[in-house]
Amino acid sequence: MPYQNLEDLPDQVKKHLPTYAQHIYKEAFNHAWDEYQTEERRRDDASREETAHKVAWSAVKNQYEKEGATGQWKPKKTS
């Protein structure tokens, strides 16, 4: 099910990601939810929800990385 606001996100997302990364997650999830609604569009027998979560985490990881020492998510440094 699509997320209407950040408060609706899973606890692991709310607890660990900074606010902007939560927005990325929510938007990517909602887009993937619509994009992969049919089984033919998904891979590996994954459910619609599993696929949307994978896409959302991937979108976050494009712009954020987890710091090794602290485990906190930080924006990636651009070179």
Q: How confident is the model at residue 79 (pLDDT cuts 50, 70, 90)?
A: low
Question: Could you give the CA distance from residue 52 to residue 59 in angstroms, rounded to a whole number?
Answer: 11
Strand intervals (E) in 25-72: 64-66
What is this structure's pTM?
0.88
Read off the CATH number of the domain in which 36 is found: 1.10.1740.70
71: helix, coil or strand? Answer: coil
Q: How many domains does the chain have?
A: 1
The answer to whether residue 73 sits within a structural domain is: no
pLDDT at 53 over 80: yes
Higher-confidence position of 68 and 24:
24
Other Cβ atoms less than 10 A from the Cβ of 32: the count is: 23
Q: Over 90: is that where the pLDDT of 13 sits?
A: yes
Instruction: Give whole-number Cα distances, 66 to 8, 21, 69, in Å.
Output: 23, 12, 9
User: Which band of pLDDT confidence, cut at 50, 70 and 90, is reported for residue 57?
Assistant: very high
